[in-house]
Amino acid sequence: MHEKNSPADPAAGDDDVLDFLDLDEDEEGAASATQANLRPWRILVVDDDADVHRATELAMQGLKIENQPLHFLHASSAAEAREMLATEPDLACALLDVVMESDDAGLRLVRFIRDELGISSLRIVLRTGQPGYAPEIETVQAYDINDYKTKSDLTRTRLYTVLTAAVRSYMQIRALEANRQGLESIISASTELTQLRGVQRFAEGVLSQLCALLDVPPEGLVCAQFASELDTETRIIAAAGSVAGLMDSALDAIPSDAVRERLQRCINLRQSLYEDGGCTLYFGMSNGRAMVAMIDLGRPLTDLDQQLLRVFCGHIAVGFENVVLYSQLLDQAYNDQLLRLPNRNRFVELLDRNLKDPSGITLALIDIDDFSDINDAFGHRFGDQVLRSVAMRLGELLGLNTAMARVGPDAFGLLGPQEQVNGDEIQRVFVEPFAVAGERLQLSATSGLVRLSESSAVGSELLLDAQIALKRAKLQHRGSSQYFSSAMGSDARERFKLLKGLRTGFETNELFVVYQPQVDLPTNKAIGAEALIRWRMADGKFVPPDQFIPLAEQSGLIIAIGEYVLRTSCLQLRRMLELGHADFRMCVNISLAQFRHPDFIPSLNRALRDTGVDGKNLELEITESMAMEDTELVLRLLADIKRCGATVAIDDFGTGFSSLSHLRQLDVDRLKIDRAFVREAQSSAAGATIAQMVINLGRGLGLRVIAEGIETEDQRLHLLTLGCHEGQGYLFARPMQADQLERWMEAGAPAASA
């Protein structure tokens, strides 16, 4: 091992150092007057020769690189350098001696810097006083260094050149690292911000992430420009630091004229501003709204800062747009857009919260009577004004302790103390007429009420209870109130359970068709049958038609059931005709919902076409009340039925209020006397009179008359005496399934007693 010059030999050391540095005496001490104000490049000198340290500083004294001065840190051994590197940040370059406490101390220090500390930006220049000790090419190849110089070659100019190249390389690496870290910070910020919901929380998050990106304490504000009819004022939606008290204030509330001017100018120009030691960022959105954020840095922005901020703005603008859209969706999900009241969803949440302490709290469901007539007469815009007037008066009279929501098109939900939310207080709201758009309207409202302490229901179930009470109140008297009771709930839930079972039963073929024969009264000859729907549940229990048919009509299921009955009846009619009963007539009841459905006539034509039966053998029965509906519609539908070849009977005739003139307009073929009049025809003068009147009316109009519910021979004979043509009832046959009907007809259709 070659020995180095000993630092104890000042003559040898000084000569060597002075030789390779080539000092100029006139340049020593020429420090710049402004050097102290500039951020210096930090250079680490690692050498066991004290004169090298001193000479290096003297040689570079007063010189700048990229207009910044140099600051030197010193270590006399690799071990000392290791300690300094662990605590000293932002070192731009290290000048390392190769041979110090060991032959390879400098090289091992390079490994420590790169591999153990993981410092990649620090530029390393190896210096040696013994050139052959570590071969230059192999060392450059094996170690991550920038340069390898012999001390004797490093004149002042060459040392400056080496350091300049190293510093510039350091600048580029740090810029790339800062760029990468900035982009990573932006991506991380975007990820974190996507978790935030609500414009205010998102804006606060933007402030926090922005300050972190620029490495400044949270100090700034975010404003929102709402370009809409409802809110055109720019408002502060997030603020931090000394301006935190300005939250939710208008822009005019900002005390600083300069800040207001910068924010307004940013909004007007629709672009970010980088000036006055800070930035005002513009986040444009496609919906015409905009957000601006202002941060005071206290220092000029670098080019890298501005590049990162432009990327940040692009990411965050999308985030703002998404969170605004989310907030709008949330608002629409829980608030009524017309009245700016909670909607049904929010009201259900309020109900659940009040169930924690339900004592003395009442729920009311208020329905404005005949509101649809107001819309029809004055238009929907006027109807909206009516709703606003009602909401305003409800709020004024019932007070702040009462929560109010719009839970339906013309229905309001109230929740509050029972001394305020009760029938009398609600009716008091509607005593005086409402002044709307120059009109004075006298409105009434029906309400259903539920005492929360008396109910075991929760949330939407409570609203259902109130709806049940409301329907009961409407049945009694419009403009009245009705409190919910457990008995009401039991009935309603039984109906719901039955309806659910009906849907399932229809899908699983629990419903089927039976046929009750119709006969010619004078001869007892079977002339046809009436098709009737029956429901036998899976457990074998029968559900009476008067229980499930009204449910089917209310739910709309009657359309599908009716079409099933019609098609099944037509198939059985074809079977009867094929068995030789040429004049057999099949009668099928048509519900009001079917009759008025747009697909009724097409479905009738399809049934006849698909089954191949002649329409003349099919008779459709409609009730008297249906016949009294919209005259124009009824006449058109009857004409369409006749074009199919089918005949029409009016069922339950005598129970309605049809006039003779109206009946004459109807193109019908048969009148059917209700069973109630058949029972009373012998025992009651009134019953006999109505039966006689119906028969005479039918004969006078040239119509056939059929009576239902004939159970005794005396009833048959009496109806014959009155002039009735046809009949059906237990006297002749009970309703029977298709195979039984076929056997009954084959046996000669014998009369059967009850």
Q: Are 341 and 332 in contact (CB under 8 A)?
A: no
pLDDT in tens, 452-472: 888 877 778 888 889 999 998
Q: Return the residue matching tokens 């025809």.
A: 681
Q: Where are the beta strands (DSSP E) in 351-444?
A: 361-368, 403-408, 411-417, 434-436, 439-441
CATH of segment(s) 10-178 = 3.40.50.2300
Q: Are 387 and 339 in contact (CB under 8 A)?
A: yes
The C-alpha atoms of residue 752 and residue 518 are separated, in whole angstroms, by 12
Tokens for 106, please give them: 């400098």
For the segment(s) 338-484, the CATH number from 1.20.1560.10, 3.40.140.10, 3.30.70.270, 3.30.70.100 is 3.30.70.270
Is residue 640 classed exposed, middle or buried when 0-12, 13-18 and 19+ CB atoms within 10 A define those classes?
middle
Q: Which of 143-152, 231-240, 691-700 has the lowest mean pLDDT?
A: 231-240
Task: Provide DSSP, 695-748.
Answer: HHHHHHTT-EEEEE---SHHHHHHHHHHT--EEESTTT---B-HHHHHHHHHTT
Q: What is the mean pLDDT of residues 85-114?
A: 88
Asked whether the predicted pLDDT for residue 37 surpasses 50, the reply is no
- Could you give the CA distance from residue 280 to residue 678 in angstroms, rounded to a whole number? 91
Domain chopping of the chain, boundaries: 10-178, 194-334, 338-484, 498-746
Placement of tokens 């107001």 in the chain:
374
Q: Indicate whether 545 pLDDT > 90.
A: yes
Q: Is 742 exposed, middle or buried (0-12, 13-18, 19+ CB in 10 A)?
A: middle
Structure tokens at 376: 């029809």
Residue 446 above 70 pLDDT? Answer: yes
End-to-end Cα spacing for the chain = 133
Q: Decide if 81 contacts 75 (C-beta within 8 A).
A: yes
User: What b/e sequence results for 240-265 when a residue is b if at least 16 CB atoms lie within 10 Å of its CB, and e otherwise?
Assistant: beebeebeebebeebeeeebeebbbe
Which of 336 and 9 is assigned the larger pLDDT?
336
- Per-residue pLDDT, 121: 85
Report d(CA 151, CA 52) in Å as an integer.
9
Sign of the four-CA dihedral 455, 550, 475, 441: positive
Rounded distance, CA 206 to CA 435, Å? 48
Higher pLDDT, 90 or 331: 90
459: left (phi over 0), alpha (psi -120 to 50) or beta: left
CATH code for the part of the protein at 498-746: 3.20.20.450
Highest mean pLDDT among 136-140, 322-326, 394-398, 527-531: 527-531
Tell me the mean pLDDT in the region 70-92.
90
* pLDDT of 30 above 60: no
Report the candidate in 220, 199, 198, 196 with the shortest Cα–Cα distance to residue 210: 220
Q: Is the predicted pLDDT of residue 23 greater than 50, yes or no?
A: no
Q: Is 378 in contact with 362 (CB distance < 8 Å)?
A: no
Comparing 143 with 583, which gets the higher pLDDT?
583
What pLDDT sits at residue 135?
61
Residue 673 reports pLDDT greater than 90:
no
The CATH fold assigned to 194-334 is: Beta-Lactamase (3.30.450)
Is residue 509 within 8 Å of residue 564, measured between CB atoms?
Answer: no
Output phi, psi for 360, to 5 deg: 75, 5
Say whether pLDDT at 91 is over 80: yes
Would you state the pLDDT for residue 261? 86
List, in order, residues 6 or more apart from 325 with CB less than 8 Å away.
none
Q: CB under 8 Å to 653, separation ≥6 — which residues?
A: 624, 671, 672, 673, 674, 694
Backbone φ and ψ of 222, nearest 5°: -120, 135
Per the prediction, the chain carries an average pLDDT of 82
Structural contact between residues 384 and 368, judged by C-beta atoms closer than 8 angstroms: no
pLDDT tens across 703-721, in order?
999 999 999 999 999 999 9
Q: Which residue in the block uniquely carries the two structure tokens 């199919």?
A: 644
User: What pLDDT was estimated at residue 492?
Assistant: 75
Q: How far apart, in whole angstroms, are the C-alpha atoms of residue 480 and residue 394?
A: 17
Reported confidence tier of residue 132, pLDDT bands at 50, 70, 90? low
**Which residues, including other chains, have CB under 8 Å from residue 509's CB and lie 6 or more apart?**
none
